[in-house]
């Protein structure tokens, strides 16, 4: 497969985050200068939907939207809490209405941090919300952009159980053995720039390059803890993978971009 437009593809960002409100134009310019050909912009809460759609329309030659409900939400006071069925009900129609515009259903998934899921009922509702979004993605013939913090093995098991067809597991922090179960299902894994300061080298080493893509998860998961991340840093992930795999950065960029187009076919519309 040859891309019409060569470049990095950032498969998971949150560019509609308020941390980019004051300089989004500069951030996009930096991405272009760094060789980013496309970036996927994910929602977390229902409030993000219009923001993400508007941003991606404004920069339609480089940004593509992903709409979905994250397992962790915020209440009116900004406190984090577990997703509810009401959160999902608020957005199903919006996802369906924009199905021809979006690249994936996401960000969806499970997050079993103790403070988010203090008891079994919280885990059950997360599974229920994920199941509904897997079914919606299948109905709309769209891939999933998936979160799995503190729930790597459980998320892969749930995706298999719910019949997920096309999956990106972003910033996977589970065991490499759990990741291999996802590889067996044909899932892809994206690597953020924070890889340079974490202990996930074993994961990068074991994942086959044909199942890997790049991401930043900006504004989080940057190479320096606490500093705002942005798509221009996606090359850090590329260079790290190249070093671990004994490949050239150019090879990694080419293969991961091909993988991204395979996983997210609608990227072809902007890679002209």
Average pLDDT score over residue span 183-190: 98
At 4 the pLDDT is: 52
Asked if residue 3 has pLDDT above 50, the reply is no
Average pLDDT score over residue span 104-120: 97
Q: For residue 99, count CB atoms less than 10 angstroms from its CB and return exposed for 0-12, middle for 13-18, buried for 19 or more.
A: middle
Name the average pLDDT for the chain. Answer: 96
Q: What is Dmax (Cα atoms) for the chain? A: 49
The CATH code of domain 8-269 reads 3.20.20.140
Which residues contact residue 44 at a Cβ distance below 8 angstroms, ignoring those fewer than 6 apart?
14, 69, 70, 72, 73, 107
Whole-number Å distance between alpha carbons of 131 and 187? 17
Beta strands 80-82; 72-74: pairing state: antiparallel
Q: Per the confidence metrics, is the pTM higher than 0.85?
A: yes
Whole-number Å distance between alpha carbons of 231 and 244? 21
Whole-number Å distance between alpha carbons of 61 and 146? 24
Beta bridge partners of 38: 9
Name the residue ranges covered by the structural domains of the chain.
8-269
Do 104 and 92 meet the contact criterion of CB atoms below 8 Å apart? Answer: no
Q: Can you give the length of the chain in residues? A: 272
At 226 the pLDDT is: 95
Asked if residue 5 has pLDDT above 80, the reply is no
Which residues contact residue 259 at a Cβ distance below 8 angstroms, ignoring those fewer than 6 apart?
188, 210, 211, 212, 213
Q: What angle do CA 231, 229, 178 make, to 5 degrees?
A: 85
């Amino acid at each position: 497969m040859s891309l019409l437009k060569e470049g990095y593809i950032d498969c998971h960002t949150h560019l509609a985050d308020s941390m980019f409100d004051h300089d989004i134009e500069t951030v996009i310019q930096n991405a272009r200068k760094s060789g980013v050909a496309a970036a996927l912009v994910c929602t977390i809460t229902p409030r993000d939907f219009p923001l993400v759609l508007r941003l991606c329309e404004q920069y339609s030659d480089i940004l593509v939207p992903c709409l979905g409900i994250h397992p962790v939400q915020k209440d009116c006071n900004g406190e984090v809490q577990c997703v509810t069925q009401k959160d999902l009900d608020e957005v199903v129609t919006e996802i369906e209405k924009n199905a021809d515009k979006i690249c994936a259903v996401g960000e969806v998934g499970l997050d079993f941090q103790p403070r988010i899921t203090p008891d079994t009922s919280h885990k059950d509702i997360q599974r229920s919300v994920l199941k509904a979004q897997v079914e919606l993605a299948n109905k709309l013939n769209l891939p999933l952009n998936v979160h799995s913090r503190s729930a790597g093995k459980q998320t892969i098991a749930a995706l298999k159980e719910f019949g997920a067809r096309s999956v990106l597991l972003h910033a996977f922090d589970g065991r490499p053995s759990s990741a291999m179960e996802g590889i067996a299902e044909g899932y892809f894994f994206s690597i953020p720039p924070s890889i340079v300061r974490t202990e996930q080298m074993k994961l990068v080493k074991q994942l086959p390059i044909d199942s890997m893509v790049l991401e930043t998860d900006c504004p989080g998961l940057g190479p320096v803890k606490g500093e705002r991340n942005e798509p221009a840093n996606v090359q850090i992930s590329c260079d790290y993978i190249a070093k671990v795999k004994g490949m050239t950065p150019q090879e990694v960029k080419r293969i991961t971009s091909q993988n991204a187009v395979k996983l997210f076919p609608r990227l072809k519309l902007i890679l002209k």
